[in-house]
């Protein structure tokens, strides 16, 4: 605001009395109003200076018609200013009413329209004053940034692009080193205004203030491509970007990728100079790889994104698969030969733009080199041979795949065994459990034999008279019951020894291992009924045996015989 006032006063002092110079000053005032006239707290200063300038010209009018025309200009300025939500606009409203009763009586202005726009602007001002108060009370840049974000969000939802633009200008003036504000400002102008005359200077200002923000440089390169700028101008932007210091190597790589993408798109648009454009593109790729390697080594592009892009471009757009294979050999030599994702990317390119001879060799190399997930290579190779190979080629593929997968499984088991902790007690228990699991399936179905220790018969301490009494009763076939004994209820039948023997033989059914399954990892508290209930939807169960220890506790596994296979 202050700079605009100084500039306007300078031009007013040097304009003279020529009408052309007066019009130039008016144009400067209009530019000032566009840039700062909607500033809620300071915009009224520009409006008042413009109005005072026009009022002075009223007194310099040489005829009544010229005077009336000048009064209409002043009235129009009052109407425009009162339609903007500006601080102290009540004072401006009083000045307008005073002017209308005195010098402005002859002006052609609709007072009712002015009153309506004034009331609407006053309501808009009341909703914006809380944001202005928060901006004034902010204690640090972080609070100020948060206030501007909330204020901008409100203006985007309720204001016009002009007011949003003015608020963005205020924010980048107060927080010129906030890269996110510049990015938001650029995104808004590109989406709403879409004018090169406004966006191009904004890029220049943004890159002067936040030179370390690679995203702004990338957007500038793409904007120049949209505006169809010459190659030399885009190269100049690239050189200016690379001359700055960015925090990460990835940011340099992304800038290079943006430029390389532009060169690749030029191949599609200009067929007449296609060969020349391919040469320019290849030199740019070489320069990008050399730049990243010299500056950062392998960390410049650890995933080889630039090289992969180059290989795809050579195969797809330059019809040079040999060059693409050379580039992929370079990629694999940089530590990517053990990753299945890299091989699959190479295989996909060879499958689309190469030939089957190179593809089969590539599958063999990939299967031999990959370590993280060879199954993906194996599946891809088998599918290829299924689609295009002969029987001999299919069998050769299956042999190599089988050898690789068996080797991979063995290596994984070995690594898992090394990684698992093996404390003494838990290791012995695990070994014991493994040994028991390795027994024949139905060995544990028989009742568990319990260890019987030999116990010496203790000497009886029962008095002899009780013993003689018992012997006497036994001779008669009756035994005298001990004190407190109660007779069994009527109708009680003791179990038959034969039935008990048959019950004990239930576990000795004839076993058919072809319809038997092994169940493990059961909770130790799981009962046979719970297992039967869980497997009931599968197949009727003819026999279920939970393996138990010598104390009768479950070991967490068991065997089940189904009714059929």
Q: Which residue has the higher pLDDT, 259 or 160?
A: 259
Q: What pLDDT shows up at residue 17? A: 65
**CB atoms closer than 10 angstroms to residue 124:** 18
3-state secondary structure of 188: helix
Q: What tokens were used for 462?
A: 């029962």
Contact 257, 274 (CB under 8 A): no
Split at pLDDT 50, 70, 90, the class of 510 is: low
In this prediction, residues 370-388 reach a mean pLDDT of 93
Q: Which of 240-244, 361-365, 515-519 has the lowest mean pLDDT?
A: 515-519
Strands of 554-562's sheet, edge to edge? Answer: 516-519, 554-562, 541-548
Whether 169 has a pLDDT exceeding 70, the answer reads yes
pLDDT digits (tens, 9 = 90+) for 463-487: 444 344 434 444 444 444 544 544 5
Q: pTM of whole model > 0.75?
A: no
Q: Which residue has the higher pLDDT, 104 or 328?
A: 328
Q: What pLDDT shows up at residue 164? A: 93
Question: How far apart (Å, rounded) are the C-alpha atoms in residues 509 and 448?
Answer: 16
In this prediction, residues 221-236 reach a mean pLDDT of 95
List 212's β-bridge partners, or say none.
none
Q: What pLDDT shows up at residue 522? A: 81
Using CA atoms, how far residue 404 sits from 252, 366, 375, 378, 395, in Å, is 40, 11, 9, 9, 14
For 329-367, the DSSP string reads: HHHIIIIITT-HHHHHHHHHHHHHHS-HHHHHHHHHHHH
Whether 150 has a pLDDT exceeding 90, the answer reads yes
pLDDT digits (tens, 9 = 90+) for 89-142: 999 999 999 998 888 888 888 889 999 999 999 999 999 999 999 999 998 999
Q: What pLDDT shows up at residue 173? A: 92
Q: H helices within 138-248, ranges in order?
A: 141-158, 161-174, 179-192, 196-209, 214-226, 231-242
Q: What pLDDT shows up at residue 271? A: 66
Q: Which of 3-12, 87-96, 142-151, 377-386 has the lowest mean pLDDT?
A: 3-12
Give residue 515's Cα distance to chain centre: 50
Split at pLDDT 50, 70, 90, the class of 445 is: very low
3-state secondary structure of 526: coil
Average pLDDT, the chain: 83
In this prediction, residues 387-415 reach a mean pLDDT of 93
Split at pLDDT 50, 70, 90, the class of 304 is: very high
Split at pLDDT 50, 70, 90, the class of 425 is: very low
For 375-439, the DSSP string reads: HHHHHHHHHHHHHH--HHHHHHHHHHHHHHHHHHHHHHHHHHHHHS---HHHHHHHHHHHHHHTS
Contact 480, 473 (CB under 8 A): yes
Phi, psi values for residue 499, rounded to 5°: -65, -35
Q: What pLDDT shows up at residue 503? A: 41
Identify the H or E element spanning 554. strand 554-562
In this prediction, residues 432-445 reach a mean pLDDT of 45
HEC readout, 277-296: HHHHHHHHHHHHHHHHHHHH
Question: How far apart (Å, rounded) are the C-alpha atoms in residues 259 and 236?
Answer: 11
Q: Is residue 298 exposed (0-12), middle (13-18) or buried (19+ Cβ within 10 Å)? A: exposed
Q: What pLDDT shows up at residue 29? A: 92
Specify the length of the chain in residues: 565
Whether 498 has a pLDDT exceeding 60, the answer reads no
Phi, psi values for residue 518, rounded to 5°: -105, 130
Give residue 316's Cα distance to chain centre: 29
Give 206-213 contacts, CB < 8 A, sequence gap 24+. Answer: 206/182, 207/240, 209/172, 209/176, 209/177, 209/182, 210/177, 210/178, 210/179, 210/182, 211/244, 211/245, 212/179, 212/244, 212/245, 212/246, 212/247, 213/179, 213/182, 213/183
First to last CA, the chain: 90
Q: What pLDDT shows up at residue 511? A: 61
Q: H helices within 37-175, ranges in order?
A: 43-59, 64-82, 89-101, 111-137, 141-158, 161-174
Q: What percent of the chain has pLDDT over 70?
A: 82
Split at pLDDT 50, 70, 90, the class of 551 is: confident
Split at pLDDT 50, 70, 90, the class of 421 is: low
Smallest Cα–Cα separation from 347: which of 379, 310, 394? 379
Q: What pLDDT shows up at residue 423? A: 54
Whether 10 has a pLDDT exceeding 70, the answer reads yes
Question: How far apart (Å, rounded) are the C-alpha atoms in residues 339 and 372?
Answer: 6
pLDDT digits (tens, 9 = 90+) for 245-302: 999 999 999 999 999 999 999 887 656 788 889 999 999 999 999 999 999 998 999 9
Q: What pLDDT shows up at residue 232? A: 95
Q: What pLDDT shows up at residue 134? A: 93
Whether 454 has a pLDDT exceeding 80, the answer reads no
pLDDT digits (tens, 9 = 90+) for 193-218: 889 999 999 999 999 999 999 999 99
Contact 306, 292 (CB under 8 A): yes
């Amino acid at each position: 605001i202050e700079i605009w006032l100084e500039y306007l006063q300078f031009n007013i002092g040097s304009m003279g009395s020529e009408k052309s110079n007066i019009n130039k000053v008016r144009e400067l005032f209009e530019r000032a109003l566009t840039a700062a006239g909607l500033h809620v707290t300071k915009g009224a200063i520009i409006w008042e200076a413009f109005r005072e300038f026009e009022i002075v010209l009223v007194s310099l009018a040489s005829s009544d018609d010229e005077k009336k025309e000048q009064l209409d200009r002043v009235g129009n300025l009052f109407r425009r200013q009162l339609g903007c939500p500006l601080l102290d606009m009540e004072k401006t409203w009083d000045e307008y009413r005073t002017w209308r009763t005195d010098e402005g009586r002859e002006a052609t202005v609709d007072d009712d329209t002015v009153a309506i726009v004034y009331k609407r602007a006053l309501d808009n001002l009341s909703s914006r004053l809380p944001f202005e108060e928060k901006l004034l009370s902010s204690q640090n840049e972080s609070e100020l940034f948060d206030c501007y974000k909330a204020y901008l969000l409100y203006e985007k939802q309720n204001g016009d692009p002009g007011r949003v633009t003015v608020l963005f200008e205020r924010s980048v003036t107060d927080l010129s080193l906030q890269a996110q504000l510049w990015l938001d400002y650029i995104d808004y102008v590109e989406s709403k205004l879409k004018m090169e005359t406004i966006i191009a200077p904004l890029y220049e200002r943004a890159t002067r203030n936040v030179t370390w923000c690679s995203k702004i440089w990338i957007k500038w390169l793409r904007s120049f491509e949209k505006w169809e700028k010459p190659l030399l101008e885009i190269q100049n932007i690239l050189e200016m970007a690379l001359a700055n210091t960015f925090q990460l190597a990835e940011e340099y790589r992304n800038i290079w990728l943006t430029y390389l993408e532009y060169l690749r798109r030029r191949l599609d648009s200009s067929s007449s100079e296609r060969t020349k454009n391919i040469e320019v593109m290849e030199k740019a790729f070489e320069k990008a790889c050399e730049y990243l390697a010299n500056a950062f080594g392998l960390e410049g592009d650890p995933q080889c994104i630039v090289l992969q892009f180059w290989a795809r471009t050579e195969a797809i757009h330059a019809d040079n698969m040999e060059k693409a294979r050379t580039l992929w050999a370079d990629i694999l030599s940089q530590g990517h030969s053990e990753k299945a994702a890299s091989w699959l990317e190479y295989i996909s390119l060879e499958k689309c733009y190469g030939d089957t001879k190179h593809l089969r060799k590539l599958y063999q190399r990939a299967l031999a080199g990959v370590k993280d997930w060879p199954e993906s290579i194996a599946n891809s190779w088998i599918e290829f041979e299924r689609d295009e190979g002969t029987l001999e080629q299919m069998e050769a593929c299956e042999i190599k795949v089988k050898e690789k997968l068996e080797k991979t499984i063995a290596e994984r088991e070995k690594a898992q065994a090394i990684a698992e902790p093996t404390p003494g007690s838990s290791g012995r228990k695990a070994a014991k459990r493994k040994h028991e699991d390795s027994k024949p399936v139905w060995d544990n179905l028989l009742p568990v034999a319990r260890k019987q220790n030999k116990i010496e018969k203790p000497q009886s301490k029962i008095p002899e008279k009780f013993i003689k009494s018992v012997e006497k009763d036994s001779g008669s076939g009756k035994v005298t019951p001990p004190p407190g004994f109660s007779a069994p209820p009527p109708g009680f039948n003791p179990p038959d020894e034969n039935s008990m023997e048959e019950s004990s033989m239930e576990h000795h059914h004839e076993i058919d291992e072809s319809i038997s399954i092994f169940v493990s990892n059961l909770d130790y508290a799981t009962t046979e009924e719970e297992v039967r209930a869980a497997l009931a939807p599968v197949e009727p169960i003819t026999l279920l045996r939970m393996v138990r220890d010598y104390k009768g506790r479950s070991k967490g596994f068991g065997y089940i015989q189904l009714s059929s296979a």
